[in-house]
C-alpha cells in the first residue's frame, strides 16, 4: 500500500473559501492535482493507494480527508472541479465536529478533525515514513517496505521544528533531485520509482 499525506497549510477548511480560492494565494488546486496524480491512471485508477489531505487554514481544527480509491463507488471525474467538489463535500460533512472526531463522507472517503502531527504519529505505527526534501536520500538509493508513506506540503514549507518531530518518529528525508517540484509532480515520480520495483 502506498500512502500520501499532503499537508496543505494554506487550504481553507471552509468549503466556499476553498472553492473560491482556486488560482488565488491559497492554491487549493494543489489538492486536486495531488489527488489526480496519486489516484488516477489513464482509463483507470490505482487500488493500492491511500491519500490524506490535511487542510490547515482553519478557525478551529485541521480537517484530514482520507481517500481510499479501492472502497470508492463513485470516483467521479479527474478535473479540478470534480476533485475539489469531493473535498468540499467532506468539509461540509465536518461542520460542527469537535476535536479528533471522524465522520464518513461517502464510501471510501472520511473526514477527521485531526492534526498533521497526530495523523503522522498514528501512521508511524505501521508505515515507513518519508518526508520529501530535496536534500534527502536520492529515491534510487532508498529501499522500500510494504507500506511506505510519503509526506508532502503545498507551496508553504514544512515548519522547521516539524522535521525534528518527524525524525523522532523515524521518518527519512527523501529526495527527487535538486529541482523544486510541485507536490503533484513528486507523487508521479514516486509512483514511477515504485512501479519499477
Ligand X SMILES: C[S@@+](CC[C@H](N)C(=O)[O-])C[C@H]1O[C@@H](n2cnc3c(N)ncnc32)[C@H](O)[C@@H]1O
The site for ligand X (CB under 6 A) is made up of 132-134, 152-153, 155, 157, 175-177, 179-183, 186
- From its phi and psi, is residue 123 left (phi > 0), alpha (psi between -120 and 50) or beta? alpha
Least gap, CB of 157 to ligand X (angstroms) = 3
- Rounded Cα distance between 18 and 195, Å, is 33
Task: Using the minimum distance from each CB to ligand X, give the nearer residue, 19 or 189.
Answer: 189
Task: Using the minimum distance from each CB to ligand X, give the nearer residue, 10 or 111.
Answer: 10
Least gap, CB of 10 to ligand X (angstroms) = 11
Task: Using the minimum distance from each CB to ligand X, give the nearer residue, 105 or 119.
Answer: 119
Task: Using the minimum distance from each CB to ligand X, give the nearer residue, 105 or 190.
Answer: 190
- Rounded Cα distance between 106 and 130, Å, is 29
Least gap, CB of 17 to ligand X (angstroms) = 21
Least gap, CB of 168 to ligand X (angstroms) = 19
Reading the block at residue 165, the C-alpha cell is 518531530
- Rounded Cα distance between 10 and 87, Å, is 14
Question: 144 phi and psi, to 5 degrees?
Answer: -120, 135
Least gap, CB of 139 to ligand X (angstroms) = 8
Task: Using the minimum distance from each CB to ligand X, give the nearer residue, 49 or 187.
Answer: 187
Of 79, 106, 83, nearest in space to 18 by CA: 83
| Residue 43: partners with Cβ closer than 8 Å, 6 or more residues away | none
Reading the block at residue 172, the C-alpha cell is 527519512
Amino acid at each position: 500500500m502506498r500512502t500520501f499525506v499532503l499537508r496543505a497549510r494554506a487550504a481553507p477548511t471552509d468549503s466556499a473559501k476553498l472553492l473560491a480560492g482556486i488560482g488565488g494565494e491559497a492554491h487549493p488546486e494543489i489538492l486536486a492535482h495531488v489527488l489526480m496524480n496519486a489516484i488516477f491512471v489513464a482509463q483507470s485508477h490505482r487500488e493500492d493507494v491511500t491519500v490524506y489531505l490535511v487542510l490547515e487554514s482553519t478557525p478551529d481544527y485541521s480537517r484530514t480527508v482520507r481517500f481510499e480509491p479501492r472502497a470508492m463507488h463513485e470516483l467521479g471525474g479527474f478535473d479540478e472541479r470534480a476533485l475539489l467538489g469531493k473535498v468540499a463535500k467532506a468539509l461540509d460533512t465536518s461542520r460542527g465536529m469537535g476535536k479528533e472526531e471522524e465522520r464518513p463522507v461517502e464510501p471510501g472517503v472520511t473526514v477527521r478533525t485531526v492534526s498533521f502531527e497526530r495523523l503522522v504519529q498514528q501512521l508511524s505505527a505501521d508505515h515507513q515514513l518519508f518526508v520529501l526534501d530535496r536534500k534527502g536520500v536520492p529515491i534510487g538509493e532508498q529501499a522500500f517496505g510494504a507500506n511506505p508513506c510519503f509526506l508532502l506540503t503545498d507551496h508553504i514549507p514544512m515548519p522547521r521544528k516539524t522535521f525534528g518531530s518527524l525524525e523522532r518518529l523515524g521518518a527519512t528525508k527523501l529526495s527527487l533531485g535538486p529541482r523544486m517540484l510541485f507536490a503533484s509532480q513528486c507523487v508521479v515520480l514516486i509512483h514511477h520509482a515504485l512501479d519499477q520495483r
